[in-house]
Structure formats: structure tokens, C-alpha cells
Chains A and B, each alone.
Chain A
């Protein structure tokens, strides 16, 4: 896991991307900075509150590519990998992360690109999407959010920057994930993840 993160960080650096430093400079301790003004310290409720109810995506539609797949909530497998519906025609939404109506974070939806049982799946076409292609994610109450494709990247699976992709605190965005790259016919696995990043239209 640690190696994964290091590798991902290295890739981000190579890609010329910037990340926010993990450690913020510490403000002066109160012990050395007495001040006449009362500091503005955030206060929150101590009353028992129900957490926000998730709005689970139920479908992903990409008109340009003729893709329309139902979506079901998924979690993680016992080995720690994201759970993926066996049927290539069904995508899984990472239900512990953000949904399209969360204030922050990435909605992550993944599907098998293929399987021996079901053949080639619709997410095989993700790699052919054009810039700005629209992706519509509909949630359980029927409302939807439209995204436009910002980038599509093939990333070696071991280098998938999971902490970034499954981010819950940053800006709202959508990540569609499937597999691609080279196929290992011995282990029946692909070398890469194909990751589509899309941002909400109008944001």
C-alpha cells in the first residue's frame, strides 16, 4: 500500500501536477500569542445527528458512445480491492465515497471491461470518448448530474493513485474506471486501468 502511494505520487510529479502540501504551517500556539481579540474557533453541534443520506447512482449514460449501463452500489472485497459487479453490463458505484450530490469529492463508478462469462462490456468504449463528451449520472430519485470528459488516462494498475481517485474532500467530479492495456493470458488480468475523469457541466 505504501509503495502504491509512493508510486502514485511519483507519477503525479512526473506528470507535472501539483499537490497541496500535506502539512500546513502551524499557526502560533496560543501560549505565545495572547491577544485581546477572542479567536474565532469553529463550533459544531454536540447533538446526535443523522449523517447525510447518500444518493446512489442508478445509471450512467454516455450518448456519444451509445453507452447506457445500470449502476449498483458496491464496497470493497476482502482483499481490499474495489468490488465490481460480475456482469460487464452493470457498473458499480463505490458506495462509501461521494455521490453526485455530495458537496465534495469524486463519484467513482467502475465496470469490468470484459469477462470470460459475459464477453466485452460497454466500458470498453470509454477509451474512445472525445474531449467534452457528456456523461449523465442518474441517481435513485431520478435526478441527474451531467459531466463532461476532461481526461482519459491509462495507468498501470499498481500505480493507480487511489487516494486521489477516491478523494472525498476535493471538488465534485466523476471517475469512470475500467481496464485496458496489455493482457496477461496467464493471470487473466490487464496491466492498466483506464480512468475517465469528468467534471460537472456548468461548474
Chain B
């Protein structure tokens, strides 16, 4: 039975501080929608269903917008150079972009393989990530043919990918180098410097989405990260001798002699004890 040993000024125990609202507002009828600027060098306005929704949207340091909580359905998406008229100046004009329910979606203003602008629609994997790991998602959103993803000098996916495709993997947290190389090769051709991979620190419980954007001779990496996908330990098992137990036959300040006796028992059943400790 749960019981309070001590309750101070505050009333409850664990919920006194409250749990923060979830980062996502995803529901069975709506999705989180991000808009990612993946066209270097231009400033744009984004219209959603004819309403100006993002004004002066720039590439880079403020190049990820959202999340928007959008009801599932079709949305008219238009991207125009900043200040332009969506009726006449759209560089991207999608009459009915389908937003599903209960997903995290990234809409990316990007190049297609031939160098035309397009709206890339990607569903982000926001499933829970095992403790100690982060998720890397790599997306090809550049004017380029097939490329290889290079992580720590090798292609972990074993295949090249085309414009509009993605790879993802859950990896232990830590520092990696990553880049994009020509098909079948492992020498990065992308910034920060051609021939040098980017240093990526993968954080726990985060889906780090890396986009290769730009044009063939000027590829760049941009990122979007979705956090809060971590899992928690299943429990905390912190004792194995009974010395502090309520049902301890002796008093709590147990004598060293008794502890030694337990140690003797442990000696006989050592293997069993260790196995119990590992699995409990």
C-alpha cells in the first residue's frame, strides 16, 4: 500500500508540480504540421487555404515553423516570393495537400531532382525511442540524383537514396559525423566543407531530421528536431539484503555480525543472488 512517510507544505506527492503539457497536440482528428524552408537564398510567404500563414519565411536560422495543429484534410498550400501575390507569383502551388490524422508531418519547400520547386510531404516518426538512444532521419530534398548517406565514414543504410526518399535509424546517443556523398561512395560532398562531414551530437529521445537541400553543386544540410520521444526506466530496484525492511526481524541498526551472517548466506547462494539482482 502506498503511504506517505512525510508530507510537507505542499499537498500531493508527485503531481504537485504537475506534468507539463505534451509537446504534441496530435489527436485522432488532427496532426502536428511543420513547415520547413529548404530552398537556400530565397525569402518566401506561405499561404494555407488562401490565408497568409507564414510571412517572410527565411532559410536557415529561423527556417522551421510550427507545429501547427491542423485538422486532417486537404489543404491548399502556396509558396510565393516574399510580398508576392499567390494568385500569380506562386513558385509552389499545391491545390490539395493531404494532412492525415494523428501524425507529425513536415511540409518542405524544396527542389525536386530536376531543379523545380516542390512541396515535399514527409511523415515524422514520433514513436517512443528506447532509453539511451536518439533517432536520425535523413531526407533527400535537394536537386541531385541518387546520393549516399555517410555516418562515421560509412553508409549505415547500405543503399543510396533519391530525391523525396528518407532513411531513419535509432542510434545510441553520442557524437557522429555525417554527410552526403555521391552514389556508392563515402566521401562527403556537402557542407560544412566539401570532403568534410558535419559533426552531429545525437541527443536522447530526439528525432533529429537532417535534410540535404540546395542544388547539385551547392548542397547544404538543414535540420529539424522533434524532442520528447524518450522512454523512462521501467522501475527502480534498490536493495537486496532486507536490512532496512519493515519486516526485518532485527532492528534497523542491524549489527555487523548479522550482516556478516547474511554475507555467509550470500556466499553459498552467490550465483543465485547475482542472478536475482540482475533480473529483478
Contacts and interface: CB of A to CB of B under 8 A. Distances in A.
Interface of A: 1, 4, 11-12, 15-20, 22-24, 26-27, 29-31, 34-35, 38-39, 41-51, 75-77, 79-82, 84, 94, 96, 104, 110-117, 119-120, 123-124, 127, 129-132, 148-171, 173, 177-183, 185, 187-190, 193-195, 197, 199
B10 interface: yes
B76 to A, nearest CB: 9
B71 A29 contact: yes
A34 to B, nearest CB: 4
Given A129-B6, A153-B3, A182-B246, 11 more contacts: A15-B13, A24-B21, A38-B52, A45-B64, A82-B233, A113-B239, A117-B263, A150-B8, A152-B6, A156-B1, A180-B244
Contacts of B8: 131-132, 148-151
A190 B238 CA distance: 8
Nearest to A35: B51
B247 A151 contact: no
B193 interface: no
Interface in B97-129: none
B187 interface: no
Interface of B: 1-23, 25, 27, 29-30, 35-37, 48-55, 57, 59-66, 68-71, 73, 75, 131-132, 173, 198-201, 203-206, 210-211, 221-224, 228, 230, 232-248, 252, 254, 256, 259, 262-263, 265-266, 273, 276-280
A2 B15 CA distance: 19
Contacts of B248: 183
Contacts of B3: 153-154
Given A34-B49, A46-B63, A168 B230 contact: yes
Contacts of B21: 20, 24
Contact of B247 (A96, A183, A197, A199): A183
Contacts of A34: 49-51
B48 A20 contact: no
B62 A116 contact: no
